[in-house]
Amino acid sequence: MLDLYWGCLIAGALLAVVTVLFGDSLFDGLLDFLAIGGSSPMSWIGGIAAFALGSIMLMNSTTVPAMQISKLVVAVVTILVAGFFMFIVGAVAKARLRRATTGREGLIGAVGTVRQAIAPEGYVFVEGELWRAKSPAGPLEPGTTVRVIAIDGLTLTVMPAESEQALAAGQGA
């Protein structure tokens, strides 16, 4: 039992020294798949190791064999818990990186249709709602497909979607 404690102490001290001296550069590229949501691979390794070693210490804490925890159970639960948290952290990171879908940020870049001629102001149908709109590109006829480029109060500034496609095609050539 005492050997396990000394082993954990030495392993923890070595891990701390390696982290202080090299940071994550020691594992740069090798463990990048663990860098989920901005966390470092060292924190994942340290957390999994602490969980496993704590379970092993619990397993060896009694002299009654019937009250000890199986090594197989420790290994399976450690793997399941690590996988669960990798999945959860990955899902949270993916959700945080997604583009906003509501509010002002959600309307910028949205595509709509002119319902009432824009000369100099008119109405467009965007995201299921009718909005007052103006266009720096000049008058736009009903039925024209437009993209929202800015919002000023309750007035959208729109540009014809075709002109953006033509610009993109011209820049790609």
What per-residue confidence (pLDDT) applies to 169?
46
Judgement on whether residues 11 and 92 belong to the same structural domain of the protein: yes
| Total number of domains constituting the chain | 2
Give the separation between CA 148 and CA 135, rounded to whole angstroms.
10
Q: What is the CATH number of the domain that holds 116?
A: 2.40.50.140
Judgement on whether residues 13 and 73 belong to the same structural domain of the protein: yes
Could you tell me which residue, 12 or 117, shows the higher pLDDT? 117
pLDDT digits (tens, 9 = 90+) for 25-53: 555 555 555 555 555 666 777 778 888 87
Judgement on whether residues 89 and 113 belong to the same structural domain of the protein: no
Residues 77-83, mean pLDDT to the nearest whole number? 86
Least confident of 14-18, 33-37, 58-62: 33-37
Cα-based angle 113, 114, 118 (whole degrees, multiple of 5): 155
- Which secondary-structure segment (H or E) carries 157? strand 155-160
DSSP-derived letter for residue 118 is B
Domain limit, last residue, from 65, 97, 129? 97
pLDDT digits (tens, 9 = 90+) for 152-168: 999 999 999 876 554 55
